[in-house]
Structure formats: C-alpha cells, structure tokens
Amino acid sequence: MSIKEPIKLKDLVEEGAVFDVNLDDLKEHDSDTEDAEYQQNISKFANLQLLGEDLQDEDTYFEGQPFEIISAKMDNLLQDGSIKKRIIREGYGEKPPDLAIVRVHYNAYVEYNPEPFDSTYARNRPHQFSINNGEVIIGLDIAVQSMKLNEKSQYIIQPEFAYGRLGCLNRVPANAEVLFEVELVEVVNVGAATAFQHLPEEAQKKFTNVYDYCLALCAKGKDLFSKNIKAAIREYNTAVGKLEMAQLEVYEDQLKQQELLLRLYTNLLVCYTKIEEPKRGCINFNKIKELVQGTNIKISAKCYFNNAKCLRMLGDLDLAKRRLEVAYKLEPKNPDILNEMIVLENEKNNEKKREIEMSKALVKN
C-alpha cells in the first residue's frame, strides 16, 4: 500500500487561498429512500447537540444564538483564534498520528440555523479519512488532530479553514464560519503494522504495541474483504493470534482486547460463512460466546445469523433455527434474516421428505 506525501498546513493556508469542498462529506445519497431517511433523521439534531447533550441546562442552545456567545466559552486551538475548541467529553490515549485513518461522527452547523447542514449521525455511519492528507476541509482535519479516542468536542472554524469565499452548494454561505461537533470513534495507525516488525522482541510483547499492530491488521483485512477474502482471513487470524497472547497490564487493556477480539472473531465468522467453511465459522462463533460470558457485551444479530447459516450447511437444522430465532428477535425487519428463515424452513421440509421416503423404503424391504 503506497502512502501519499502528507499535505502540510503551510502549503494549504495562504493569504487569499480558496478551499475546495470535499464532496465525499456531502455526496448524493444512493437512493431516494436513503435521502428521505437522512432528511428525517437530521431534524432530530436541531438544537439538541449544538452545545452537547452532556452539558448542563444553562448551556442549552437556543435558536438564533450567535456563534459569538458560544465561542466565548471556547479556547483557541490555533493561536489567532481561527479555530476554537471546547471539550464536551474527555477522551483517552494518544492523539492521532500523521496519516492515521480516523472515523468520526459529527454534526455541522452554520450560524443562526439550528438544523445541521451535514450530519454523519443522520446518515447512520461515521465518516472515515486519513489525517493530514487533504481529504476533508482543513479545519476539520486540524480539529481531529487535537482529539483523543472517544473524545467529543465542539469547534468554531473560520471560513479560510472551512468553505472559503465560495461556500458549499446551497448549504454553507460564502465566507461563513461553521460549527462542528465531533466525536472521535476510531483511530488506526496505518504505520503500526510495518513498525511492529522492527521492534525488539520485548517491545513486541507490550500491549500498546500489539494493540496498534492488530488494529492496523484489522483495517487491512477490512480493505481486502471485497477483493481477496482469503487474504483478509489471513490478516484477521494473524491479529487474533497476537492479541490472544498479549500481556495485559491494566484493566483498560483487557477491555480494549475484548472489544477488538470481538470484532475480529465476528469478521472471521462472516468471512468463513461467505466462503462456505462452516466448521471454522462455528469455531469463531463459539469464541465469541466464550468471550462475552460474564460480561455486559451482547452478541449481535449478525453473529447469530451467520452462525445459523454455518449450522445449516453442517446439517444441524434445529440449532440453526434457534440461532436464527435469536437473530430475528434482535432485528425482526432484517431481510437477510427473513430470507434465511425461508431457506431453513425449506431445508427442514426436504429433510422430512427424505426421512419419510427412507422409512417407506425400509418398510417395503
């Protein structure tokens, strides 16, 4: 995987510079249904999150409140105040390194408008981009560089770091400052996989290094999934092996290990189901069951669904039905689950017919 030369701030920010709009953030939706859902969801965030649901009543946003009042409670992220920041919820760990892949949720507002002009929450999926690589407006890039994992913060960004003198379509006026409320969901250090191989043996046992390495392998596997699923499986299994043997020092390490193992086992279950290796799929489902035992972690409908398919392939139709019933309770409107219930019922009917035919043959003989 080739790594682009980082785009530096000094190369982008010059007097009179015009910033292009990142259309990935504001792209057209895939269907009329998704667009209608987005419009319906976005109204939920009017007034509700502009100053953060974690704040006290006196900080609640009122329609028409100018950014000047909000920014008075913020600190300068850049020395000249072009980007201001206020932390709503503290995060943990280190800030994202250069070129790290991050996933963020955000609501974005223009002044005096309580409804976001853009919202990943309304789309029900976070936005992913590479730090310091020119993939989003530079104000958002700088904002996320200042964050820690799980942090939630607000930023007021001046137009030269946002959408400039052109604005953005019909959503952001020309020369408008914008307010972003951002939540850092995930950080993947893409250089960790290469760096890990060159670490001394003792350093490779340190959980922080193992975790970063396995996160990078997980991201690589996700990228390979649609291109070469067996290659993705190799990346996932390598990560599982390292993570299962990692030396845990504090309770937080255990939580992070469990979370990532759950994701890896789930990915392997899906992969093995897709390539019709049901025994390996069931092994990973059993690992998931063992992992969550005695915890508050819930097994997803996706796991029960894929395990049901594996069990059907193995001919254990009764257990497959029980697994599928759990998946259905969790997601009763999921069309894949409903379709699998039909397939399983047909398989059970065919099995009954075969049993009846075998019984008739035995009696005749």
pLDDT on residue 278: 97
Same domain, 34 and 106: yes
Residue 357 pLDDT class (50, 70, 90 cuts): confident
Specify whether the CB–CB gap between 120 and 185 falls below 8 A: no
86 in any annotated domain: yes
Task: Note whether 167 and 196 are same-domain residues.
Answer: no
* 37 and 119 assigned to the same domain: yes
Query: Average pLDDT of 162-176?
Result: 92
What SS3 class is residue 34? helix
Domain-embedded: residue 3:
no
Rounded average pLDDT over 320-343? 95
147 Cβ contact list (under 8 Å, min separation 6): 91, 95, 96, 153, 182, 184
How many domains does the chain fold into?
Answer: 3
Q: How far is CA 204 from CA 172, 207, 212, 259, in A?
A: 48, 8, 11, 20
Class of residue 148 by CB neighbours under 10 A (exposed 0-12, middle 13-18, buried 19+): middle
Q: Which range among 48-62, 113-127, 293-307 shows the weakest confidence by mean pLDDT? A: 48-62
Q: Kindly report, residue by residue over 217-264, the tens digit of the pLDDT.
A: 988 888 788 889 999 999 999 999 999 998 898 999 999 999 999 999
φ/ψ of residue 5, rounded to 5: -65, 130
pTM: 0.58
pLDDT of 189 reads 77
Is the separation of the CB atoms in 180 and 143 below 8 Å? yes
Q: Which structural domain range is residue 327 located in?
A: 300-307+318-354
Residue 1 lies in a domain: no
Return the higher-pLDDT residue of 163 and 37. Answer: 163
Single out the residue of 168, 169, 170, 112 nearest to residue 140, CA to CA: 168
Q: Are residues 128 and 273 in the same domain?
A: no
* The pLDDT of residue 349 is above 50: yes
Secondary structure E strands in 131-276? 152-157, 178-188
Mark which of 129, 164, 187 sits at the end of a domain: 187
For residue 364, being part of any structural domain is answered with no
Does residue 36 sit in the same domain as residue 100?
yes
pLDDT of residue 61: 43
Q: Are residues 182 and 193 in the same domain?
A: no
Q: Which of 159, 167, 244 is nearest to 210 (CA)?
A: 244
User: Residue 43: which pLDDT band, with cuts at 50, 70 and 90?
Assistant: low
* Least trusted range by pLDDT, from 155-159, 190-194, 276-280: 190-194
Residue 252 lies in a domain: yes
Model pLDDT for residues 257-295, shown as the tens digit of each residue: 999 999 999 999 999 999 999 999 999 999 999 999 999
Residues 149 and 198 placed together within one structural domain of the fold: no
Query: What's CA 148's distance to the chain center, in Å?
Result: 16
Which residue is listed with tokens 């007021």? 156
266 and 228 part of one domain: yes
Among the candidates 162, 187, 212, a domain finishes at 187
Mean pLDDT along residues 315-325: 95
Strands (E), the chain: 75-76, 83-89, 101-110, 118-119, 127-130, 152-157, 178-188
